[in-house]
Structure 1
Amino acid sequence: MADETSADINNPALQPNGEDTSPAIGLISQYVKDLSFENPNAPAVYQWQDAPQIDVQFNIAADSVGDSLFEVSLKIDVTSKADAGTMFVIELKYAGLFGVRNVPEDQLQPFFLAEAPRILFPFARRVVADAVRDGGFAPLLLEPIDFHGLFMQQVQQVEAEQAGNVAPVGQA
């Protein structure tokens, strides 16, 4: 028992006044911020026999919205086209409100651009599938995305560009 008490006293995260100084990030709320579904060629589109070409684009943004509060938004744009024209267009901005405490500044960007979208994506995916289904089409189930891998790829690209700008250009 004495060892447990001394371990608690020596724990730097536990302060004498009871304040918890350990880092933490928590999801407070998640929500549809903006949703648009367009079916510009209805009702003719339901008679088209062509297989659609689906184009999916993603964008991630993180904004401070208060003291230790950040909104991370996942924007998903989907366009479905056939030879005869556009079948549907969906634009979704799905967001989460995250509370942050005692997290080092250099750890915020990796969380907001890799981990937060991973948390939000399954819910945004369901909203897209439901909206497409409600528009009269088969539900569109977006493939899972490796947000961490994409973030690391982006970091490496930025580092390579910075290294390229510093290195002298010459002929071999």
Structure 2
Amino acid sequence: MADETPVFQIQRMYLKDLSLEQPNSPAILLEQAQPQVDINLGMGAQPVQDGIFEVTVTATVTTKVKDKVLFLVEAKQAGIFEIRNVPEEQMQGIISIVCPQMIYPYLRAIVSDVCTRAGFPPILLTEVNFQAMFEAQQAQMAAQANGGSSIITGVN
């Protein structure tokens, strides 16, 4: 009989992709206007082999002065996780909540460090509630499956 003990292990954390662009330098650096910061987060997951998954969290930070880009940072932090013998109904939660929560602090540090090293004030990404994001995504998918009508209840 095979061992059916649930397994959840981090195999590796790594920076998968990093980009910094300053397309309007040096002229824009002389602007005195307050920059506008736009932050977008994304998450992805894919199986690597049986029981092994790569989970990624991406942050794209676009900072503009007036209508010109001051700088753009895109960072993708990844982790390889071994997940075995976990009930199927729990897998999506582990991949969409637990794994990103482990990866995100590394991503926050990288974004802040890159901004500082580029000569700008650090951009501090806020904490993210991956559980609330997952629940909202599940509710949206359920609403679409029910023909687009749903009742949304508050999430604390």
TM over 0.5: yes
Offset, 1:98? 0.1
Asked if 1:130 is matched to 2:131, the reply is no
CA RMSD of aligned residues (A): 1.9
Larger C-alpha radius of gyration, 1 or 2? 1
Amino acid at match of 1:134: R
Aligned residue among 83, 88, 96 for 1:105: 88
Deviating above 3 A after TM superposition, structure 1's stretches of 4 or more consecutive aligned residues are: none
Identity of aligned residues (%): 36
Distance 1:163 1:132, change over 3 A: same
Asked if 1:94 is matched to 2:77, the reply is yes
Asked if 1:75 is matched to 2:58, the reply is yes
Task: Write the distance in 2 (CA, Å) between the matches of 1:32 and 1:20.
Answer: 33
Unaligned runs of 5+ in 1: 1-14, 168-172
Unaligned runs of 5+ in 2: 151-156
Amino acid at match of 2:145: Q
Task: Write the distance in 2 (CA, Å) between the matches of 1:60 and 1:166.
Answer: 26
Contact 1:73-1:96 within 8 A present in 2 as well: yes
Normalising by the residue count of structure 2, what TM-score does the alignment of the two structures yield?
A: 0.89
Asked if 1:45 is matched to 2:28, the reply is yes
Contact 1:55-1:78 within 8 A present in 2 as well: yes
| Cα offsets for 1:26-61 (capped at 9, x unmatched) | 111100111000011222232221111111111111
Task: Report matched runs for 1:160-171 at 5 Å.
Answer: 160-164=143-147
Which of the two has greater helix per residue? Answer: 1
How many residues align structurally?
Answer: 150
Task: Write the distance in 2 (CA, Å) between the matches of 1:165 and 1:55.
Answer: 29
Correspondence for 2:153: none
Normalising by the residue count of structure 1, what TM-score does the alignment of the two structures yield?
A: 0.81
Offset, 1:67? 2.2
